[in-house]
């Protein structure tokens, strides 16, 4: 019995030492799978430093492009006198001059929707997080988005009431588009007048004024004015077209993205037919 007890004690001690040695080998073996996973899962100091730099740069960009520079532009525009001949240019939400007015329609809201659809122009989707993410992805991957949203521009103290666009190819980077604002005046038939700004988006880039992401427009804004009038006329939507000369006293400028624009100074005014005449 004493011999057996001693043997059992020796065996127990041997197992304990073996277990401790096994634990030591697992803890300090740098080549074990567990250790390799631990090393891989822990980012190195360089990666953490790069991540902090990128985060700081992103926050700084957003702060400058969307807060500081717009505020400076707003202060600058407030110092300028108002146009003597009324509003002929739209403004961004920060008070920066936007796209010039170059077209007007005499019609009810429903008539505008019907005539624009008949002419091959699609209503723009509202700007939401979802639509903004979609147009960003479609621009990158060159996918069509016929109802892509447009950024807000302001006239008469409010953003556009209606917006339409005509796609070019399968990429929303390029598109014809127009925004409309309803004026307070009514014609003899009780129909309102809608002022519009028609331009052509040529690419996506950074604003020359604030650095914000935006569409850049082609400088010859009269071409899209004439295109829209032609499209509406071919669709049989207009009963009359007349022109207001010298609507723009200053025939050139820059929009909210810093893009130059030029015009002959004329405002095209289209009178929309009744529904039956322009409906397909």
Per-range mean pLDDT, top range of 26-35, 184-193, 251-260: 251-260
Who wins on pLDDT, 229 or 186? 229
Range 66-75 average pLDDT = 47
| pLDDT, tens digit (0-9, with 9 covering 90-100), for 142-175 | 666 566 788 899 999 999 999 999 999 777 678 8
pLDDT score at 205: 54
Tell me: pLDDT of 116 over 90.
Answer: yes
Average pLDDT over the chain reads 75
Average pLDDT over residues 24-37: 48
pLDDT reading at 187 higher than 80: no
pLDDT value at position 64?
Answer: 47
Q: Has residue 69 got a pLDDT over 50?
A: no
CB 104 within 8 A of CB 191: no
Give the pLDDT score at 189: 77
Q: Give the mean pLDDT of 114-132.
A: 87
> Which carries the bigger pLDDT value, residue 90 or residue 23?
90
The domain limits of the chain are 2-42, 87-278
Percent of the chain's residues with pLDDT above 70? 60
The answer, yes or no, to whether residue 27 has pLDDT greater than 50, is no
Taking residues 11-37, report their average pLDDT: 46
Q: How far apart are CA 212 and CA 205, in angstroms?
A: 8
| pLDDT for position 5 | 46
Please tell me which residue, 95 or 196, carries the higher pLDDT value.
196
Q: What is the pLDDT of residue 39?
A: 47
């Amino acid at each position: 019995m004493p011999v057996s007890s001693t043997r059992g004690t020796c065996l127990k001690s041997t197992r304990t030492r073996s277990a401790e040695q096994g634990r030591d080998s697992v803890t300090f073996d740098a080549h074990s799978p567990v250790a390799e996973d631990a090393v891989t899962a822990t980012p190195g100091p360089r990666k953490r430093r790069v991540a902090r730099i990128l985060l700081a740069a992103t926050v700084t960009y957003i702060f400058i492009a969307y807060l500081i520079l717009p505020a400076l532009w707003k202060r600058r525009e407030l110092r300028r006198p108002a146009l003597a001949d009324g509003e002929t240019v739209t403004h961004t939400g920060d008070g920066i001059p936007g796209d010039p007015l170059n077209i007007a329609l005499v019609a009810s809201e429903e008539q505008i929707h019907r005539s624009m659809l008949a002419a091959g122009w699609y209503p723009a989707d509202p700007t939401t997080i979802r639509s903004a993410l979609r147009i960003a992805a479609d621009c990158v991957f060159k996918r069509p988005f016929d109802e892509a949203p447009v950024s807000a521009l302001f006239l008469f103290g409010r953003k556009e009431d209606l917006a339409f666009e005509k796609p070019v190819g399968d990429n929303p980077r390029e598109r014809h588009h127009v925004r409309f604002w309803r004026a307070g005046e009514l014609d003899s038939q009780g129909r309102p007048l809608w002022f519009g700004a028609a331009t052509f988006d040529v690419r996506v880039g950074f604003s020359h004024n604030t650095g914000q992401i935006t569409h850049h427009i082609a400088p010859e804004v009269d071409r899209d004015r004439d295109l829209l009038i032609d499209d509406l006329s071919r669709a049989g939507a207009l009963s009359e077209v007349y022109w207001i000369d010298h609507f723009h006293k200053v025939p050139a400028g820059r929009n909210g993205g810093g893009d130059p624009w030029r015009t002959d100074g004329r405002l095209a005014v289209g009178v929309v037919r009744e529904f039956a005449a322009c409906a397909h």
